[in-house]
Amino acid sequence: MQVRIFRGADSSAALAQVKAELGIEAVILETREVMDNGRKMCEITAALERNVGMTRAKPSEAYGDMSSVSALTGGPGAAAPEWHREWSEIKSCLMSLMGKQLDKDKLSPRQRQALDYLEREGVDPKIGVTLYKCLVLDKQTSLLAALAEILSVRPLTLASWPEKIHCVAGPSGAGKTTTVIRMALAAQQEKPGLRICLVNADDRQARGRLVLRHYCELSGFSYREAGSREDILKLLDEADNFDRIYVDLPGMSGPQVLSERLTLLGLSEVDECAFHLVLSPHYGKPQLDHFLRAFSFARLSSVIWTKLDEAASFGGLINVADSCRVPISAVSWAAGFKDCMAPAENMLLWKLIFKHELPCGQAPEKLHA
Ligand X SMILES: Nc1nc2c(ncn2[C@@H]2O[C@H](COP(=O)(O)OP(=O)(O)OP(=O)(O)O)[C@@H](O)[C@H]2O)c(=O)[nH]1
- Is 343 a binder of ligand X (CB under 6 A)? no
Ordered DSSP codes for 138-199: -TT--HHHHHHHHS-B---STTT---SEEEEE-STTSSHHHHHHHHHHHHHHHSTT--EEEE
Q: Which helix (H) or strand (E) holds 52?
A: none
Q: Which of residues 168-187 bind Mg ion (CB under 5 A)?
A: 176-177
- Of 173, 255, 284, 286, the one binding ligand X (CB under 6 A) is 173
Nearest to 311 by CA among 369, 365, 366: 365
d(CA 241, CA 224): 13
Interacting residue with ligand X among 68, 96, 188, 205 (CB under 6 A): 205
DSSP state of 255: T
CB of 153 to ligand X, least distance (A): 18
Q: Cβ 200 to Mg ion, closest distance in Å?
A: 8
Total of chain residues touching Mg ion, rule CB under 5 A: 3
With beta carbons less than 8 A apart as the criterion, state whether 196 and 332 touch. Answer: no
- Per CB under 6 A, the segment of 169-177, 186-194, 256-264, 356-364 that binds ligand X is 169-177
Select the binding partner of residue 175 from ligand X, Mg ion, none (C-beta < 5 to 8 A, by kind): ligand X
Question: Parallel, antiparallel, or unpaired for β 222-225 and 196-200?
Answer: parallel
Q: Which of 72, 174, 279, 303 binds ligand X (CB under 6 A)?
A: 174
> CA end-to-end span of the chain, whole Å?
44
Contact partner, 189, from Mg ion, ligand X, none, Cβ < 5-8 Å per class? none
User: Closest separation between CB of residue 82 and ligand X, Å?
Assistant: 26
By CB under 6 A, the residues from 208 to 247 that bind ligand X are: 208
CA distance 167 to 21: 37
- For Mg ion, the closer of residues 135 and 181 by Cβ is 181
Alpha helix positions (H), the chain: 11-22, 69-73, 80-101, 109-120, 125-137, 143-150, 176-190, 206-219, 229-237, 258-265, 285-295, 315-324, 346-355, 364-367
Least spacing, CB of residue 67 vs ligand X, in Å: 38
* Strand 2-8, strand 39-48: pairing: antiparallel
**Rounded to the nearest whole angstrom, what is the least distance from the CB of residue 312 to ligand X in the complex?**
13
Among 155, 170, 175, 208, binds Mg ion (CB under 5 A): 208
Closest separation in Å from C-beta 91 to ligand X = 30
Among residue numbers 322 through 341, which ones bind ligand X (CB under 6 A)?
332-335
Closest CB 333 distance from ligand X, rounded Å = 5
Q: How many residues does the chain have?
A: 369
125 binds, among Mg ion, ligand X, none (CB under 5 to 8 A by kind): none
CA-CA-CA-CA torsion sign (295, 299, 303, 306)? negative
Query: Which residues are at the interface with ligand X (CB under 6 A)?
Result: 170, 172-178, 202, 205, 208, 251, 306-307, 309-310, 332-335
Catalog residues that contact Mg ion under the rule CB under 5 A: 176-177, 208
